[in-house]
Chain A
Amino acid sequence: MTGRIFNVVGAMFLLTVCSKGSQSNAAPAAPPPAPAAASDLAAAGGTITGKIKFTGTAPRNPAIDMSEEAACKAKYTTTPTEENVVAGPANALANVFVYVKSGLPAGQTFPAPATPVVLDQNGCRYHPHILGVMVGQNLEIKNSDPVLHNIKAIAKKNRPFNVSQPNAGMTKTVTFSQPEVMVNLECNVHGWMHAYAGVRSDPFFAVSQQDGSFTISGLPPGTYTIEAWHEKFGTQTATVTIAGTESKTANFTFAAH
């Protein structure tokens, strides 16, 4: 218990220090660099690509018992499973959120894209299961099932929420105000429904594909800490230096435990 208290005290101390720090930074009127459109950046900058794998045997995804929800069950021909570990061929690992943890020039801001990220509830599962969204960008949550879902966001830096969508065709648009990796989204009516949103204040993030590959493009020159986050296997980091428009590789290997 004492340890926990210290953590909290520590966190508060840090908060105080940080907020003071950012205030004094903001006071001198050095105008932030003009925001460049994301597309310009992509054309101009460097690229990081990579493959994500895991060693060992992937745990089996539990089967989902949808007998309480006939309308969802009818959408499957085989028993649906959870998506805790989605593996591709040759131990490729999908659904890893890869992002630039640090290294971007301080004070640089990036505009949020006007297009929303869509999170669909379909067949009593979330599509996609892992997503990235920018601060201020719309996240559109929609229900394609004729059953009640509630969408609860569990967050620390952002405000949480818990709203319900009892009807098919309902949508809810939310935005996040702070970067946070990750915001957990869950449905409490269907205890197996989990999704994770990586919220970033820059556009340099990706979610690994079925073959384990990812691409982050448009990076300005610099030395970056790249973090790869997986819901079961934890995080891994790599340092990558970009100079100009080159393409660099960063592969990650997780251990299945």
Chain B
Amino acid sequence: MRGRGTGEGGRVMRASVAIAALFVFVFALPVPLPASPFPQDTSAGKAVYQKWCAGCHGDNGAGDGPGAKHMIPPPRDFTGAIYQIRSTPSGQLPTDADLLRSIDEGLFGTAMPGWKTRLSDRQRRDVLAYIKTFSSFFADTTQRPQPIAYGSAPGGGGGAEALKVGRQFYDSIGCRKCHGDQGRGDGPSAPTLKDDAGHPIFAANLHENWRFNGGGTVEDIYHRLRTGLDGTPMPSFSDLLEQKFLTDEQLWRVAQYVRSLSPQEPPVVRDVVHVPLAKRLPHSPDDSAWTAVDVYWFPLVGQIIHKERWFAPAVTGVWVKAVHTADSIALRVTWDDRSASPDTSWLPFIGRVLNTLDSDDSTREQPAPWPDQLAVQFPVTIPSGMERPYFLMGSAGAPVYQWRWSSSSRTAAVAGLARGIDRFDPLGAAAGIPTQAVYDHGQWRVVFTRALASADTASQLPFRSGRAIPVAFFAWDGSNGEHGTRMAISTWYFLALDEPVPARVFISPVLAMVLTLGLGMLVVWRAQQKTSYRKGRQ
């Protein structure tokens, strides 16, 4: 499960596509003209704030800008001066350096972008000073922040012995209660977690350190363990050291263990999946034959083009492996999901998710025990040139061929033709795709198998070697309220049976996707601007 190496043409997925897309969305909204709460304050920081931050954080810093109801976690409410990323003990204010870091780098894995390249040093410092004026705590001289004096990581952190110690304390001090046995955010307390304002919050998936809000290095992790993330359920563990229940070295070991769960480098996207020829088809997800096969990572983002749009997808990406024999293909898709839905213990969580986000529909849907789903999509036939059907489930005139798997019937996926996002015509039981699925500590692993040839070449793509076969993925996390158009989507990638096709033949799909999403949203926004936005301001 490691994204090893950096394939040529790969792009580091630091700031996810979703963030870029959301950004476009938020700034497409007109900036409202408020009555200023600080008529005397004409400082430069305020101007920067109004232009760049208020769309999310709100004119008054209360975290309620026009974009706020389109993201989880929601933007910070600055009026309480409760900050997650600090160098100070739990409960204290952050230092200016702490705030500047969040502003410079953003909070990874959230909608909060980094501003280092967009704003000048001066502007970032000005806006920092301005956001502090939203809370009286910063003016209170008894509240001076005092950074913790951190030591540095003890050596030998990557070694087996060190990791064993780390794992031991991970278990004994109870990280697993929230983060789960394997660290995928699926602990027994996970469905009950909320932030201070009652919004739903996931315990971080510790296998995705590139999405840790405060950074993914051992030092970052250790600092978060000392300070906690105020405003969230993630507590500080400093008292363990002060009261001598744990040594500093042991806490570092926990941080090192947590770090070891994620790949060495954040996964890079390689567009073309090389599908090697094998003697035998591995049908089971845990067949040892899979270990020798290269793995590919494809990021997923919220479906925000068609109504009902979805801004809070839970599945962040899929890991794909594929092999074929002389006559069949096996595709293994692995993704992290905090629950094997349907799971009724997550119903209140779904309710909170739906309440936190603005719905496109006037009637808000009631939470229901929806299953987890995954769809694999191909064109109906291998395209000869650059032409490909619309990536988002085809269109009425140009359908796409899909395999739809659901956790409520795990042994077969339904094959069918999608003609747009809300029309799926199953092809009948004979066309069904056998699957084998495993749910294991916050992770689904599903193997799809099919003959290379197909009986009905007009609708069921025949797989052939030598030509790049477009493929796309869609995922739904039922326990996050996802079904129908509320899903996570990818753009087109490619399968290449036998030999990989050089990546540069194709336009970057990620770039294409950003463009598509951006354009799509402009259209949606235009259509909605008059109705929904005005409604919101009444």
Contacts and interface: CB of A to CB of B under 8 A. Distances in A.
A163 B230 contact: no
Interface in A132-180: 147-148, 150-154, 156, 159-167, 170-172, 177
B90 A15 contact: no
A151 B91 CA distance: 12
A5 B243 contact: no
Nearest to B243: A170
A166 B243 contact: no
A53 to B, nearest CB: 31
A170 B245 contact: yes
Contacts of A166: 172-174, 237, 240, 245
B177 A148 contact: yes
A157 B192 CA distance: 26
Interface string B54-66: 0000111110100
A164 B236 contact: yes
Contacts of B35: 9
B311 to A, nearest CB: 17
A1 interface: yes
B517 to A, nearest CB: 26
Contact of B239 (A2, A8, A19, A163): A163
A189 B90 contact: no
B64 A5 contact: yes
Contact of A163 (B93, B137, B177, B236): B236
A154 B196 contact: yes
B498 to A, nearest CB: 50
Contact of B142 (A9, A152, A177): A177
Nearest to B201: A188
B537 A1 contact: yes
Contacts of B536: 1
Contact of A159 (B92, B177, B194, B238): B92
Interface in A1-30: 1-2, 4-5, 8-9, 11-13, 15, 19
Contacts of B82: 160
Contacts of B238: 163
B137 A159 contact: yes
Contacts of A1: 64, 536-537
Interface in A160-219: 160-167, 170-172, 177, 188-191
Interface residues of B, number: 49
A164 B35 CA distance: 42
Nearest to A11: B79
Interface in B221-241: 228-240
A13 B189 CA distance: 40
Given A154-B196, A160-B196, A4 B91 contact: no
A162 B395 CA distance: 51
Interface in B499-538: 536-538
A162 B189 contact: no
A160 B233 CA distance: 12
B97 to A, nearest CB: 19
A162 B62 contact: no
A170 B242 CA distance: 10
Nearest to B91: A161
A12 B61 CA distance: 11
B450 to A, nearest CB: 42
Nearest to A171: B243
Nearest to A153: B91
- Chain A interface bracket (under 10, 10 to 19, 20 to 34, 35 or more): 35 or more
B60 A9 contact: yes
Contact of A189 (B61, B80, B92, B178): B178
Given A148-B174, A167-B245, A188-B192, A5 B60 contact: yes
A68 interface: yes
A177 B143 CA distance: 10
B385 interface: no
A218 B228 CA distance: 42
Given A5-B62, A161-B90, A190 B189 contact: yes
B156 interface: no
A95 to B, nearest CB: 22
B288 interface: no
B9 interface: no
A19 B240 contact: no
Contacts of B177: 68, 148, 189
B251 to A, nearest CB: 11
A162 B136 contact: no
Contacts of B58: 5
Contacts of B173: 148, 164, 166
A16 to B, nearest CB: 9
B484 interface: no
Counting chain B CB atoms within 10 Å of each CB, the highest count among A11, A68, A165 belongs to: A165
A162 B193 contact: no
B396 to A, nearest CB: 38
A151 B536 CA distance: 37
Contacts of B243: 170-171
Counting chain B CB atoms within 10 Å of each CB, the highest count among A11, A150, A154 belongs to: A150
A160 B230 contact: yes
Given A152-B235, A160-B82, A166-B240, A15 B64 contact: no
B79 A8 contact: yes
B34 interface: yes
Contacts of A68: 177, 188-189
Interface string A19-52: 1000000000000000000000000000000000
B80 A162 contact: no
A82 B90 CA distance: 28
B151 interface: no
A56 B133 CA distance: 47
B192 to A, nearest CB: 3
A161 B239 contact: no
A103 B234 CA distance: 41
Nearest to B232: A162
Interface of B: 34-35, 37, 58-62, 64, 79-80, 82, 90-93, 136-137, 142-143, 172-174, 177-178, 188-189, 192-194, 196, 228-240, 243, 245, 536-538
10 contacts: A12-B37, A148-B174, A151-B235, A153-B91, A159-B92, A159-B137, A160-B231, A164-B235, A170-B245, A189-B177
Given A8-B37, A166-B245, 8 more contacts: A15-B136, A152-B235, A153-B91, A159-B137, A160-B230, A170-B243, A189-B177, A189-B178
Interface of A: 1-2, 4-5, 8-9, 11-13, 15, 19, 68, 147-148, 150-154, 156, 159-167, 170-172, 177, 188-191
The 4 closest A-B pairs by CB, nearest first: A148-B174, A188-B233, A191-B192, A161-B91
